[in-house]
Every structure is written in structure tokens, then in C-alpha cells.
């Protein structure tokens, strides 16, 4: 009926607006952690969650690290953890957004500690650079969330934008480094010295 159509149209408009806001965040991102906070705020309009987390993954060493959380949760500021035996490996192996419960899907046999002991359900997606997964974006719940196919599609769209954000951030960091270091020796250059002296003078 008309009430249902109106509700669907309103939800669709909210999703379009949220996706537009996410694209604007990507275009203006400089600091990845600040960008993640802004991202998570907008994702709330697309997919409900209690907490969002981004993990960085080093496939070569088999290490995962909780890079950012929203809202900020100091409890999960622990250091690097092993990828092997972690539920994160299941997320990477899926190759697409997944919804997992600790009590099912083989989750009870895997290590969920990188997400916290209170988390019982999550929706997550691997962030890929070239052909390798280098990060995971996860939405966390202590109770039941019942993520559906629409939520996972939205999460897939978000992962694409996050991938672009990480690429831009790494290019920016590389450009910053090149501007302040000698190309041949890797040593800090005159510009770096001048900027460092200016900072020291300002703090004196």
C-alpha cells in the first residue's frame, strides 16, 4: 500500500544520501583514522551496528591488528595477533561480505578475541588492494543483528569506497615522504629540516 511505498522510498533516499556522503568523505580524506570515524557514522544510516572495527592484515607475517574502532573502545587497543585460527581467516576466505555468529558457522571453534569477548555476531568484508586482502571492515553486535542480503550488499559497496580511501592515504603518505627525503639516500632533506626547526621553535 501507499504507506509501505512511502517507507521504501524514504529508506532508499536515506541510503542514497549516505552513499553520497561516503563518497565525499573519500574525496577529502587525509588521515585514515579520522576518515574511519566519519565513515562509520555514515554507515549507521545504511547498516545498523553497535561497534565498527577496521583490522589491518599482513599476509606475509600472518599478523592482524585492530587499527581503528568506532565508537573508540580502549579495551581493544591490544597489539598484533595471529591470523591463523582467527575468525578473520574465515572472512578472508569468503571472498565476499559475510555475516557470522559465534555460536554457529563454526565460529565457536575460532578465535574472536580481536573483536572482543562480548561480540556474538558480526558482518564483515575484506578490503582488497590489487589481488591481496590488506584490511577487514567489520560491524559488531553483542546480541542478535540478523544481517540480511541487502545489508551485505551495502557492506560490499562500503568496502569499495574504503579500498579507495586506503589507496589514497598510502599515496598521500608516499608523496609526503618523497617531499621530505632524498630520493637516492633516503635521508631527510632540507625541507624536512626546516619544518622540524619550525616545530621546535613553535614549541619552545
Q: Report d(CA 104, CA 120) in Å as an integer.
A: 10
Q: What pLDDT is attached to residue 123?
A: 92
Is 75 a residue whose pLDDT tops 50?
no
Q: 49 with 158: CB under 8 angstroms?
A: no
pLDDT at position 177: 83
Q: What is the DSSP letter of 89?
A: H
- Please name which of 55, 22, 26, 20 lies closest in space to residue 41, comparing C-alpha atoms: 22
| pLDDT surpassing 60 at residue 166 | yes
pLDDT of residue 154: 85
The per-residue pLDDT for range 11-56, each reduced to its tens digit, is 665 666 666 776 776 767 667 777 788 888 888 878 888 899 989 8
Query: Average pLDDT in the 51-71 region?
Result: 89
pTM for this model (two decimals):
0.74
For residues 93, 95, 100 and 104, what is the CA-based torsion angle, rounded to 10 degrees? Answer: -50
The per-residue pLDDT for 184 is: 85
Q: DSSP string of 122-154?
A: EEEEEEEETTEEEEEEEEEESS-----HHHHHH
Each residue's pLDDT tens digit, 102-154 = 877 555 567 888 888 888 899 999 988 777 888 899 999 988 888 888 888 88
What value does the mean pLDDT of the chain take? 81
Structure confidence by residue, pLDDT tens digits, 105-116: 555 567 888 888
135, 136, 137, 143 alpha-carbon torsion, rounded to 10°: -160
The per-residue pLDDT for 98 is 92
Amino acid at each position: 500500500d501507499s504507506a509501505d511505498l512511502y517507507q521504501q522510498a524514504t529508506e532508499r533516499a536515506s541510503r542514497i544520501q549516505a552513499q553520497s556522503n561516503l563518497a565525499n568523505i573519500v574525496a577529502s580524506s587525509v588521515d585514515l583514522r579520522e576518515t574511519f570515524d566519519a565513515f562509520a557514522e555514515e554507515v549507521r544510516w545504511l547498516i545498523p551496528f553497535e561497534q565498527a572495527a577496521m583490522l589491518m592484515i599482513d599476509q606475509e607475517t600472518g599478523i592482524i591488528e585492530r587499527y581503528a574502532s568506532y565508537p573508540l573502545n580502549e579495551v581493544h587497543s591490544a597489539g598484533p595477533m595471529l591470523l591463523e585460527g582467527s575468525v578473520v581467516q574465515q572472512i578472508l576466505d569468503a571472498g565476499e561480505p559475510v555475516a557470522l555468529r559465534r555460536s554457529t558457522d563454526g565460529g565457536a571453534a575460532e578465535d574472536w578475541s580481536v573483536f572482543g569477548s562480548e561480540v556474538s555476531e558480526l558482518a564483515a568484508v575484506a578490503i582488497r588492494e590489487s589481488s591481496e586482502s590488506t584490511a577487514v571492515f567489520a560491524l559488531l553486535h553483542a546480541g542478535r543483528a540478523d544481517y540480511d542480503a541487502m545489508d551485505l550488499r551495502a557492506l560490499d559497496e562500503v568496502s569499495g569506497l574504503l579500498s579507495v580511501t586506503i589507496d589514497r592515504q598510502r599515496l598521500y603518505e608516499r608523496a609526503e615522504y618523497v617531499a621530505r627525503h632524498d630520493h637516492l639516500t633516503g635521508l631527510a632533506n632540507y625541507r624536512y629540516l626546516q619544518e622540524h626547526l619550525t616545530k621546535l621553535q613553535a614549541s619552545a
